[in-house]
Structure 1
Amino acid sequence: MSASDEGRAIAKEYLDFKQKELNQTDDTEVAFGTLLYEMGEWRKSGTYFENLLHHRPNDSQIYFGIGRSYNASSEFDQALSYFKRAYNLSMSNANKNTAFTAKICCSTLRAYHDSGNFDQALALGDEALGLYRHLDEHAHAVGIAQVLINIGLVHFDKAYTLKNRGEVLFALGDLIGALELFEKALEMYSRIFREDKNHRDIAKCQHLIGMTHLAIGNYNKAVEALDTAFDYPSNDG
């Protein structure tokens, strides 16, 4: 199979999944609001679901729709509030839809991630995966993949943020604090790129650790870290 054929196959699988997602309910009101969201009309979708809320005040799908609209507009506090309400309603429903609850957790994960609350995001990712474990893995492969992708992004951005915070502390003269953050970032990058030990982000952290040891006066450790950093090949092409 050529790359273009494989790409078309993946695209078709995704489109089929979205079609099934829209068709899996005979609730045309929710389906229309979801369609607006999928078309990128986030504010229209949010307004539509808010109007539905007046006569469906205890429906988790409505709160979820509003939450996604706020999240797409980077209004994370409002999004999290509606996602929490959707989650509580879904969990208290006697006919609980486990797949939908997992989907709420995945969207909440993204809201926490986008607002910089990485630990909460990871906790929601674990919960979503836990819910999916009770379901058929093949039937929910796309949903599970979405959770795993988002968890991976959280780990990467958490490491990146630690590195950046370390650079700020270094500039402010807090060398011990900077060193601690650089080492945490290195640990995370090493886990993320365990199949690529030559990754540039690992080398960058080693370099920062070396320069911090140098500034502190730990010359042997500085040389060791800098030698390790220089051993990494350039990924600049």
Structure 2
Amino acid sequence: MANYVLVAGAWLGSWAWEEVAAELRSAGHGVHPLTLSGLAERHGEGAPAGQQTHVADIVSEVERLDLREVVLVGHSYSGIPVGQAAERIGDRLARVVFVDSDVPVDGQAFVRAGESGRAVRESIAANGGSWPPLPAEEFEGQGLTGEQIARILARATPHPGASLTEPAVLERPLAALPATYVKCLLDWPEPPSTVVDLVEGGHWRLVELTTGHWPMISQPGELARLLLES
């Protein structure tokens, strides 16, 4: 039996995994959806969360529940703290699955240099230190129904800005992690260049899913199947 620790990306909480979690549990596995500090039901809780707070959230949950055979699943932004947490839980780790996500690069933040990074930083500054959820039009073309988009918009919360600007800290190369990368083709056809190098080098496995950036909502059954096969 594996123990799946599911971590959704920016603006989302454990609620985003409800359908995927049900599929994994029906297959006989332990499933532990996790809400990171400052998001969803934890929005406004405590001091503003940085990226290392989110890494600690994941490590602490694994240790608190004394989980073994852990499959860490990181979606979107959360691939960055999940990738760091993976190397910190030692032999508890079975595998990492990055779902259409960023991956950690030592010394590098989620928000990069350039025009897009500048826009995110300006948005964080203009919104009291948080990154506001995307407007409805940004979810179009991502394989989501109108009802699914409405669900995301109703439950999304601002994302702690410090977690996006704080750099990642890695002690080992990413190639040392046993990992699968799930690329969602409707969002963008190519994974990050770091992932391409790891796949071409034979270190990671790449699988593709014909849906958009939020597969746990648009195709939960298919995503659950990929996680079970990872």
Band of TM-score, shorter chain: under 0.3
Kindly indicate whether structure 1 or structure 2 has the higher relative contact order, using CA contacts under 8 Å at least 6 residues apart.
2
TM-score (norm 2): 0.27
Higher share in strand: 2
More helix by share: 1
Question: TM-score, with normalisation over the residues of structure 1?
Answer: 0.26
Q: Which has the larger radius of gyration?
A: 1
